[in-house]
Amino acid sequence: MQDYYDLLGLAVGATPTEIKSAYHAKLREFPAHKHPQEFKAIRAAYEALRKGESQPEQDFFDLQPCQQELDSAAVTQLRERATDQAQVTLAELVRLTF
């Protein structure tokens, strides 16, 4: 959050009017057609500061995609089993193919 204030050149706790004024000043300084990356960062900072404290409540009710992490030990064990079952000799491969 501190980075957003720094990006817009504001002190922490700036009023919504100050935030909006700083946002428009930065847009004049970094127009989108000449500075697309800076424009995106300024826009993101403004949106984050504009939403303020209401953001966590909105995130709570928004649908979040499921995130699943794989157990690396289980993945390693499955890989070893698959490798063991996939190992065949050339003769077996030819016999199974034809």
Say if pTM beats, i.e. exceeds, 0.75: no
Pairwise CA distance, residues 42 & 91, whole Å = 65
Q: What is the pLDDT of residue 91?
A: 87
pLDDT of the chain, 98 residues: tens digit per residue: 668 888 889 888 888 889 999 999 999 999 888 988 999 999 988 998 888 754 555 566 777 777 788 889 999 999 999 888 888 788 888 888 88
Write b or e for each residue in 38-75: b if 16 or more Cβ atoms lie within 10 A of its Cβ, otherwise e: bbebbeebbeebeeeeeeeeeeeeeeeeeeeeeeeeee
Q: DSSP secondary-structure letter at 31?
A: -
Pairwise CA distance, residues 96 & 21, whole Å = 74
